[in-house]
Chains A and B, each alone.
Chain A
Amino acid sequence: MTGASRAEQAPEGATLPQLLRRNAETMAARPALREKDRGIWQTYSWKDYWEQARGFALGLAAAGFKKGDKLSVIGENRPRLYFAQLAAQSLGGIAVPVYQDAIASELAFVLDHAETSVVIAEDQEQVDKVISLQSRLPQLKLIVYDDPRGLLNYDFQFLQSFEAMLAAGRDFAAAHPGYVEAAVEAGRPDDLALFSYTSGTTSRPKGVMLSHSNLLMPAASFAASEKLTANEDHLAYLPMAWIGTSLVSIALHLTLGFTCNFPEKPETVSRDLRELGPTIGLAPPRFWENTLTAVLVRVADATPMKRRIFEYFRAVAEQADQYKAAGKPVPANIALARRLGEIVVYAPIRDQLGWRRARVVYTGGASLGADVFRFFRAIGINLKQVYGATELSGLCSVQPDAEVDPDTVGRILAGMEARIAEDGEVEVRSAGIFKGYYKQAETTGEALTEDGWLKTGDAGFIDKRGHLVIIDRAKDVGRLDDGTSFAPQYLENKLKFSPYIGEAVVFGDARPFVTAMLAIDPSTVGKWAERQNLAYTSFQDLCARPEVLGLVREEIHKCNAVLPAETRIRRFLVLNKEFDADDDEITRTRKIRRGFVAEKYAAVVEGFYGGAAEVEISAEITFEDGRKARLESCLAIEDVEPARQAEREPAYAA
């Protein structure tokens, strides 16, 4: 570890609550958590954090919560949900955060599988959801709510307010002095701290068991290599159930003692980002794609003059970036234009996006298209790729500042190792390697090699510099009929760079050519239609308009132009719905569940390769409350003209 970081000061082999207690002593008055509430940022110091967690732990103890018990939080990022998780861990319990937008059946599966005994629900909506499942959750003893709104007339014995828990805790403390302190003291780094249910691109969620040291070791290594300090500001707005949130907002947060901020509500995130100006950030590719789309939409709405200025300086920035990446000196005229652009375009955009003070931001969780990546770097945001897995407690590699490259995921962190198995799969050894899948010993065995390395399931290689390069999910990398290897994710990311294409699934394994099933981005295509004076009634209608299909075809042309002839997209279909986690088509972290989608839309794939001009699909859609309906429709399959290909490849025309 390098000396510049505070991470060194973390005592070897601490637990999360032990770090919380340390912070409450060494930096009692410094802000630990900030929540935007009633329009202003309300601060909780490290002392408050510990006292609230301790108070709630006492309440839990009074309710019979003991070592090894599980507590689940359901809701947006709220201080009390963090207090509750630390409280459970203080008593030797395990936190099991769940996705707040999970539909009832998913929620029931996780809560039941994890044997959660206490649920902390953010508000009435979540309380209602849990109460409706109560008969299926024999282990559930207590539901605690944060926001009392609408719950005043609920009369259930197992339902308690957060305040009531604190009050019960005070009585308990009077009879048991020093109870929580002793429990925290007794905590061992190898105790289980967190079950993180993986989104499962393949099957039912699996409960990844992580210990305190699992979480803290990669955090310390990451903090050291990135020289993060106690002065960082972070805005936590991604689901608490995502491993990245536990890593940054809990493990890294407790290790370094910086400030973690929570937005007012999901709709205000972009404004809160700007107001706060965080110094670090971690978000999945989806976030960066959406941010870029939002920028491009604003540009499209601007006056022609402004639009031209933006386009010009964007091109300048990307050119300059390419010179730098190639290690060549930037020509003087471009360097000058870049400096001007900094004043008129780049800095204002960074400010609008809220990343003006950002020292470094990360993308992780899936691969981000190189074009999107380059855009943010070009306008001066230090965006870097990280790589990891839930089974590795989040992270195992990051790009050093001087070696950023859209094609790699960077160097393996200190204290970890990576190697490539014979079949090309990336394997990692780290102190972050999980303790197994809860109640699934056989599956755990499959995920690890005999000598204890984690099989990541990703195909990749290590380049000359020592950077890890991820190609795709190992099982997704396929070959066309003629033997050309192709990585669907790479093509999908290319397609998704278009602001009009929201989601894409590419097919081609063991097929003669590549095809794509697309979902348009409703906001940008909607705006585009508005500008074209194109009338439409509904999303379905919009998707089927020939003008929209033409627009999409144009976008595919652009994408094809930079692809080798063999892997160009030949046929496509625009789906008349968005991919939805409620329909199991994508995971809650918005990764395509390829196998499931291929199965669900088997008729489309058949149509692609059977030469059909249209295809009947019948898709099941699930409403938020779990009700299902069928969407029957007939969609057109479009051919992408093999543009100018005939000239270059006469054989094809013949």
Chain B
Amino acid sequence: MAFGATPSETPGGVQLAVTGVSKRFGGVRAVEEVSISVERGKIAAIIGPNGAGKTSLLNMISGFYRPDGGSIVFEGRDISRARPSEVAELGIARTFQNIALFGGMTVLDNIMLGRHVRMKSGVLSSIIYWGLAQREEIAHRARAEELIEFLELQDLRKQQTSALAYGLRKRVELARALALDPKLLLLDEPMGGMNQEEKEDIARYVIDVNEQWGTTIILIEHDMAVVMDISDQVTVLDRGRKIAEGTPAEVQSDPEVIRAYLGGHHGDRVRAA
């Protein structure tokens, strides 16, 4: 196989178990007693209206927020108190709703940066460069090039990210997250603000990542058609609480979801999607 990373282990088994987590900001109860469990190698979607607590939940998994209560267990390890860098080292990568790339750096450099936690050479050997650090640099560059090919960014390799179109920057951000060789990938609205064609492209990449490397994926997305198309399981949040979960078909026909999330008369549209 041409690609460097290998699927972590055989699929199956719970990889991430979020149990009864809550998060309050002052008087606002952003997330209340939410539990989600995702099996290895699955694509899980989190949907819900604005302010439902989706991003807060993702932030807790990736270590940006500390939950006020409950536990988050990743591959048998409690990470509810872990710092973002520790979470990253364990193999959880994410992208952001508002793109967080280094605008002055090239596409390639941004992706190489994503491999930072995987780099082992210390300050001294990096200064000397030849030998260990050089070998390491070459290996990491090879992986970065695989991702560039995977996400079809070859013609943009040396371009500054600030000069790229929005959809392309989203793609670069995905590449940087993948550069971590994640076991679990968290995508916060990967298709937000995109046109239909760009959405289809990203959906294809998400499926390919999942197939090629067996990466577990949790994504927040508003486009119901895409969610229903690509995810194995869907969790619905509303005002910080989980109101439904199941397969896309189950969630689609759940009256609670139709009422709370889309409003009664929008039900037809969900089914149509």
Contacts and interface: CB of A to CB of B under 8 A. Distances in A.
13 contacts: A38-B145, A148-B1, A148-B2, A149-B212, A150-B204, A150-B208, A153-B211, A264-B154, A264-B155, A265-B154, A267-B154, A268-B154, A268-B155
A77 to B, nearest CB: 15
Contacts of B211: 150, 152-153
Given A38-B149, A39-B148, 5 more contacts: A149-B208, A150-B207, A264-B155, A268-B154, A268-B155
Given A267-B154, A267-B155, A268-B155, A39 B145 contact: yes
> Which 6 residue pairs across A and B have the least CB separation, nearest first?
A38-B145, A267-B155, A268-B155, A264-B154, A39-B145, A265-B154
A501 B148 CA distance: 35
Contact of B142 (A38, A150, A153): A38
Contacts of A265: 152, 154-155
Nearest to A263: B154
B212 A152 contact: yes
Contacts of A271: 155
Contacts of A311: none
Interface string A256-278: 00000000110110010000000
Contacts of B222: none
Nearest to B207: A150
A76 to B, nearest CB: 12
Nearest to B154: A264
Nearest to B143: A38
A171 interface: no
Which of the listed residues A39, A264, A265 has the most CB atoms from chain B within 10 Å of its own CB? A39
Contacts of B199: none
A625 interface: no
Nearest to B204: A150
Contacts of A152: 211-212
A522 to B, nearest CB: 17
A502 to B, nearest CB: 22
Contacts of A267: 154-155
B146 interface: yes
Interface of A: 37-40, 148-150, 152-153, 264-265, 267-268, 271
A38 B208 CA distance: 18
Contacts of A37: 149
A101 to B, nearest CB: 17
Contacts of B208: 149-150
B81 interface: no
Nearest to A269: B155
Interface string B146-176: 1011101011010000000000000000000
Contacts of B148: 38-39
Contacts of A150: 204, 207-208, 211
A38 B155 contact: no
Interface string B32-75: 00000000000000000000000000000000000000000000
A41 to B, nearest CB: 13
Interface in B157-215: 157, 204, 207-208, 211-212
Nearest to B150: A149
A37 B212 CA distance: 19
B214 to A, nearest CB: 11
B193 to A, nearest CB: 20
A98 B155 CA distance: 25
Nearest to B156: A267
Contacts of B155: 264-265, 267-268, 271
B8 to A, nearest CB: 16
Contacts of B149: 37-38
Contacts of A264: 154-155
Contacts of A153: 211
Most buried by A among B149, B154, B212: B154
A427 to B, nearest CB: 45
Nearest to A265: B154
B6 to A, nearest CB: 13
A167 to B, nearest CB: 14
Nearest to B1: A148
A583 to B, nearest CB: 20
A538 B10 CA distance: 50
Nearest to A38: B145
A152 B142 CA distance: 22
A37 B211 CA distance: 22
A38 B212 CA distance: 18
Contacts of B145: 38-40
A265 B156 CA distance: 12
A38 B152 contact: no
Contacts of B212: 149, 152
Contacts of B142: 38
A261 to B, nearest CB: 15
B204 A38 contact: no
B240 to A, nearest CB: 37
B24 to A, nearest CB: 43
B154 A39 contact: yes
Contacts of A40: 145
B106 to A, nearest CB: 12
Contacts of B2: 148
Nearest to B2: A148
Nearest to B146: A38
A263 to B, nearest CB: 9
A163 B202 CA distance: 28
Contacts of B154: 39, 264-265, 267-268
A150 B142 CA distance: 21
A150 B211 CA distance: 8
Interface in B203-231: 204, 207-208, 211-212
A274 B207 CA distance: 35
A401 B212 CA distance: 53
B75 to A, nearest CB: 24
A150 B213 CA distance: 11
A39 B155 CA distance: 10
A264 B148 CA distance: 11
A152 B157 CA distance: 27
Contacts of B204: 150
Nearest to A151: B211
A149 B212 CA distance: 8
A8 to B, nearest CB: 40
B231 to A, nearest CB: 16
A153 B176 CA distance: 26
A148 B1 CA distance: 9
Nearest to B155: A267
A45 to B, nearest CB: 21
Q: Point out which of A38, A40, A148, A271 has the most chain B C-beta atoms below 10 A from its C-beta.
A: A38
B175 to A, nearest CB: 14
A274 B208 CA distance: 33
A274 to B, nearest CB: 13
Contacts of B207: 150
B10 to A, nearest CB: 15
A265 B212 CA distance: 22
A271 B212 CA distance: 30
A152 B3 CA distance: 13
- Which among B1, B146, B149, B150 has the highest number of chain A CB atoms within 10 Å? B149
A35 to B, nearest CB: 12
A218 to B, nearest CB: 35
Contacts of B1: 148
Residue picked from B155, B207, B208, most chain A C-beta under 10 Å? B155
B157 A39 contact: yes
Nearest to A39: B145
A267 B212 CA distance: 25
Contacts of A268: 154-155
Contacts of B146: 38
B262 to A, nearest CB: 31
Nearest to B108: A39
A300 B212 CA distance: 46
A268 B142 CA distance: 19
Nearest to A152: B211
A270 to B, nearest CB: 9
A206 to B, nearest CB: 35
